[in-house]
């Protein structure tokens, strides 16, 4: 199922259709058990054994109660208390063992639950890191991911737990039923009926729960988002600077209040159903007890038998309800597991990263030909018929106004998206022929919003080529090429300092220093194509100048595409492409582009004369910059 096409209503309708299928349910139960089994089979077997032990202890207690009562009744006749004391001791020991068994079950269940959650996390993270980036443009994908995290992760364990408790309670019910049958056979069918109202009510409750969860997911995600804005370290300064605290709190509280109102209604409906089920069960219990009194009055049941039957009925009722609750838990989780299944299926549908030929380790020319591309669910084309050429060893620049399509083209070149039309060719071979993993291996990208890992400086750089044993010398070389070496050496633990204050001993870097670390990461990767999206936006003029004078030697023959708004830095590129509204509108060297006096020349001149206060190029007050002179020279 394509996550982008699913909305909550469709999902609910699909779930409604599916829940009629018992075959589906059987499959869910067996996959859940298989998952729990694979998570920790020893714990699983231990819990199964404990279920049976618990059932046996219950039956033994009923029999012990009868023996205690018989011993008490015969006490007067024989005046021998030892029999009573002996049976009371047996009953006490059995009760104690039952309690020990119960607490052991609780602890083992907790452990097993964690093991299953771990296995589920592995699956979910496996899918979320494997699916194409397109999914991350879809709000429904995030809703699904959020539902999976909130509930589906724990459901396989819940199903297994439900099946286990059903199995244990069924064994106990049969054993107790046999015991009760030996005391008063007529009572058995009536007690068994006690579970039916609970089952009917529980099934309805499960549907309500699933519908509620689907309906609330978008609001809960928004609530978490507003919570995160108030908790996040990165957001903290801007929230305070803009004075957003009360506004954010209001939004957060608004969502919370409407969620609580919905939850109140939901809880009311669930409680109503649950009460109905319990009332039904109590009516059956009352009828059973009345029947028992009638049996005593008729003389079909003696006092000891009646006492034991009373305990058996109580226990049997509880066990029968456990059987039906287990079934409910399976039904309820089954709906969530469908959702989880859909999510996990996205991983199976994702293009196999290793499928296709291995991309060559070098190329002579990369050609982007008539490429068009639209983001999912976006009515506008981000790229419309783009042609670009990158020759081996060249430094090619992309410039253009905001939203003109530069980053989008970079993403396509890096193999993160596939073009909707046109082609990207590596020496006559289409990029789509190659496996995604090998294409990504040959490209390194520094995005504008690169990740700042809260890891050591060495790790931050070495993530550029994960999988290789970290080579401290190469890390240092990469840092040197990016101009980061000195700053990192100056940290309390040098390259071993964690680059975040979130962790003890950590130290944060300035924006420019971070940018150099990101550059170092890309140099460490050592890929034939380097894409730098605004690599100097946070660098000071000296650092920027140094970077570009040393860029060619740092690249060591690799091809680079760099995106920049700073025209002073793109001047030195071998070729410059000017993008406008998703198209390449001009191309050439700096000199050629200035000569044709088109968009590039205009943007260049605008930037050269920009000054605080916005005076014009000819403005008398403006201080002429070095660029002005160059523009005038060039034009």
Ligand X SMILES: Nc1ncnc2c1ncn2[C@@H]1O[C@H](COP(=O)(O)OP(=O)(O)OP(=O)(O)O)[C@@H](O)[C@H]1O
Closest to ligand X by CB, 335 vs 603, is 603
Question: By CB under 6 A, is residue 10 in contact with ligand X?
Answer: no
Decide if 596 contacts 416 (C-beta within 8 A): no
Question: By CB under 6 A, is residue 512 in contact with ligand X?
Answer: no
Taking the CA atoms of residue 442, residue 443, residue 444 and residue 449 in that order, the dihedral angle to the nearest 10 degrees is: -150
Paired sense of beta strands 583-588 and 575-580, if any: antiparallel
Cα(99)–Cα(87) distance, integer angstroms: 18
Decide if 384 contacts 395 (C-beta within 8 A): no
Closest to ligand X by CB, 106 vs 402, is 402
Question: By CB under 6 A, is residue 535 in contact with ligand X?
Answer: no
Task: Give the CA angle between residues 454, 456, 461 to the nearest 5°.
Answer: 100
Closest to ligand X by CB, 402 vs 473, is 402
The total of other beta-carbon atoms located within 10 Å of residue 331's CB is 21
Could you tell me which stretch among 70-78, 82-90, 357-365, 398-406 binds ligand X (CB under 6 A)? 398-406
**Closest CB 238 distance from ligand X, rounded Å:** 20
Question: By CB under 6 A, is residue 382 in contact with ligand X?
Answer: yes
Could you tell me which stretch among 167-175, 275-283, 402-410, 519-527 binds ligand X (CB under 6 A)? 402-410
Decide if 51 contacts 167 (C-beta within 8 A): yes
Could you tell me which stretch among 295-303, 375-383, 435-443, 476-484 binds ligand X (CB under 6 A)? 375-383
Could you tell me which stretch among 65-73, 311-319, 396-404, 490-498 binds ligand X (CB under 6 A)? 396-404
**Which residues from 241-270 bind ligand X, rule CB under 6 A?**
none
Closest to ligand X by CB, 317 vs 560, is 560
How many CA atoms lie within 13 Å of 432's alpha carbon, on the beta-carbon side? Answer: 10
Cα(537)–Cα(481) distance, integer angstroms: 17
Helix (H, G, I), strand (E, B) or coil at 495: helix
Closest to ligand X by CB, 90 vs 585, is 585
Question: By CB under 6 A, is residue 277 in contact with ligand X?
Answer: no
Closest to ligand X by CB, 308 vs 445, is 445
Question: By CB under 6 A, is residue 375 in contact with ligand X?
Answer: yes
Question: By CB under 6 A, is residue 137 in contact with ligand X?
Answer: yes
The DSSP line for 118-151 is HHHHHHHHHHHTTS-GGGGG-HHHHHHHHHIIII
**Which residues from 408-437 bind ligand X, rule CB under 6 A?**
408
Decide if 279 contacts 201 (C-beta within 8 A): no
Cα(612)–Cα(621) distance, integer angstroms: 11
CA-based nearest residue to 12, from 199, 170, 183, 216: 216
The total of other beta-carbon atoms located within 10 Å of residue 518's CB is 25
**Closest CB 606 distance from ligand X, rounded Å:** 15
**Closest CB 14 distance from ligand X, rounded Å:** 27
Could you tell me which stretch among 57-65, 281-289, 385-393, 403-411 binds ligand X (CB under 6 A)? 403-411
> Which contiguous run of DSSP H or E holds residue 169?
helix 155-183
Closest to ligand X by CB, 60 vs 412, is 412
Cα(507)–Cα(493) distance, integer angstroms: 10
Cα(577)–Cα(575) distance, integer angstroms: 7
Chain mean position to CA 112: 21
Helix (H, G, I), strand (E, B) or coil at 455: coil
* Token pair in block for residue 390: 């990158």
**Phi then psi for 555, rounded to 5 degrees?**
-75, -25
The total of other beta-carbon atoms located within 10 Å of residue 268's CB is 10
* Contact with ligand X (CB under 6 A) among 194, 307, 334, 405: 405
**Closest CB 381 distance from ligand X, rounded Å:** 8
Closest to ligand X by CB, 168 vs 400, is 400
Could you tell me which stretch among 138-146, 406-414, 459-467, 475-483 binds ligand X (CB under 6 A)? 406-414
Question: By CB under 6 A, is residue 407 in contact with ligand X?
Answer: yes
Question: By CB under 6 A, is residue 360 in contact with ligand X?
Answer: no
**Closest CB 585 distance from ligand X, rounded Å:** 13
Closest to ligand X by CB, 107 vs 402, is 402
Question: By CB under 6 A, is residue 223 in contact with ligand X?
Answer: no
Closest to ligand X by CB, 499 vs 532, is 532
Closest to ligand X by CB, 246 vs 402, is 402
Closest to ligand X by CB, 122 vs 378, is 378
Question: By CB under 6 A, is residue 403 in contact with ligand X?
Answer: yes
Say which residue the tokens 């709906």 belong to: 335
Q: Which residues contact 263 (CB under 8 A, 6 or more apart)?
A: 212
Question: By CB under 6 A, is residue 404 in contact with ligand X?
Answer: yes
**Closest CB 621 distance from ligand X, rounded Å:** 30
Q: Report how far apart the first and last C-alpha atoms of the chain are (Å, whole number).
A: 58
Decide if 245 contacts 230 (C-beta within 8 A): yes
Question: By CB under 6 A, is residue 371 in contact with ligand X?
Answer: no
Closest to ligand X by CB, 315 vs 445, is 445
SS3 of the chain: helix, strand, coil, percent, to 5: 65, 10, 25
Question: By CB under 6 A, is residue 406 in contact with ligand X?
Answer: yes
Closest to ligand X by CB, 281 vs 563, is 563
Size of the site for ligand X (CB under 6 A): 12
* Contact with ligand X (CB under 6 A) among 107, 402, 469, 473: 402
**Closest CB 431 distance from ligand X, rounded Å:** 18
**Closest CB 279 distance from ligand X, rounded Å:** 54
Decide if 364 contacts 238 (C-beta within 8 A): no
Question: Which residue ranges make up the site for ligand X (CB under 6 A)?
Answer: 137, 375, 378, 382, 400, 402-408
């Amino acid at each position: 199922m394509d996550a982008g096409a699913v909305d909550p209503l469709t999902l609910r309708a699909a779930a409604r259709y599916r829940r009629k299928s018992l075959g589906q349910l059987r499959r869910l139960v067996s996959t859940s058990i298989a998952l729990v089994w694979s998570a920790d089979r020893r714990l699983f077997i231990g819990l199964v054994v404990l279920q049976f032990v618990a059932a046996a202890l219950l039956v033994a207690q009923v029999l012990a109660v009868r023996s205690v009562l018989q011993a008490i009744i015969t006490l007067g006749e024989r005046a021998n208390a030892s029999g009573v004391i002996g049976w009371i001791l047996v009953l006490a020991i059995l009760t104690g063992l039952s309690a020990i068994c119960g607490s052991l079950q609780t602890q083992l269940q907790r452990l097993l639950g964690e093991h299953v959650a771990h296995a589920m996390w592995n699956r979910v993270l496996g899918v979320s890191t494997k699916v194409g980036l397109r999914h991350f443009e879809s709000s429904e994908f995030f809703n699904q991911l959020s539902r999976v995290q909130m509930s589906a992760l724990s459901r396989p364990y819940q199903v297994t737990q439900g099946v286990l408790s059903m199995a244990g309670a069924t064994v106990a019910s049969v054993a107790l039923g046999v015991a009760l049958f030996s005391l008063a056979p007529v009572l058995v069918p009536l007690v068994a009926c006690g579970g039916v109202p609970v089952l009917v009510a529980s099934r309805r409750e499960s549907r309500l729960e699933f519908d509620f969860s689907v309906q609330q997911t978008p609001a809960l995600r928004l609530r978490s988002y507003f919570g995160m804005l108030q908790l996040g370290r990165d957001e903290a300064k801007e929230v305070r600077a803009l004075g957003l605290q009360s506004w954010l709190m209001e939004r957060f509280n608004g969502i919370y209040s409407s969620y609580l109102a919905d939850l109140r209604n939901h809880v009311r409906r669930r409680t109503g159903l649950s009460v109905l089920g319990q009332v039904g069960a109590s009516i059956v219990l009352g009828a059973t007890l009345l029947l028992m009194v009638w049996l005593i009055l008729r003389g079909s049941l003696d006092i000891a038998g009646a006492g034991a039957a009373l305990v058996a009925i109580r226990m049997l009722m509880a066990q029968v309800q456990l059987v039906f609750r287990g079934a409910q838990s399976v039904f309820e989780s089954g709906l969530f597991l469908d959702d989880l299944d859909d999510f996990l299926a996205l991983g199976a549908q994702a293009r196999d990263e290793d499928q296709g030929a291995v991309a060559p380790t070098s190329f002579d020319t990369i050609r982007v030909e008539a490429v068009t591309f639209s983001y999912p669910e976006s009515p506008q084309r981000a790229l419309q018929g783009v042609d670009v050429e990158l020759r081996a060893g060249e430094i090619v620049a992309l410039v253009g106004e905001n939203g003109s399509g530069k980053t989008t083209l970079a993403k396509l070149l890096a193999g993160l998206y596939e073009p909707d039309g046109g082609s990207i060719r590596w020496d006559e071979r289409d990029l789509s022929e190659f496996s995604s993993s090998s294409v990504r291996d040959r490209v390194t990208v520094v995005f504008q919003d690169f990740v700042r890992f809260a890891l050591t400086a060495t790790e931050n750089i070495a993530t550029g080529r994960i999988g290789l044993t970290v080579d401290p010398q190469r890390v240092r070389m990469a840092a040197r090429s990016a101009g980061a070496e000195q700053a990192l050496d100056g940290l309390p633990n040098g390259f071993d300092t964690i680059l975040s204050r979130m962790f003890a001993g950590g130290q944060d870097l300035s924006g420019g220093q971070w940018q150099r670390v990101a550059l170092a990461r890309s140099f460490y990767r050592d890929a034939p194509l380097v894409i730098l999206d605004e690599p100097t936006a946070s660098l000071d003029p000296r650092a920027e100048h140094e970077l570009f004078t040393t860029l060619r030697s740092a690249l060591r023959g690799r091809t680079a595409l760099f995106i920049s708004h700073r025209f002073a830095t793109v001047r030195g590129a071998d070729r410059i492409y000017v993008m406008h509204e998703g198209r390449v509108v001009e191309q050439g060297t700096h000199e050629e582009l200035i000569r044709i006096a088109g968009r590039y020349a205009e943007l260049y001149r605008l930037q050269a004369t920009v000054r605080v206060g916005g005076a014009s190029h000819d403005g008398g007050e403006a201080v002429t910059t070095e660029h002005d002179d160059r523009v005038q020279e060039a034009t």
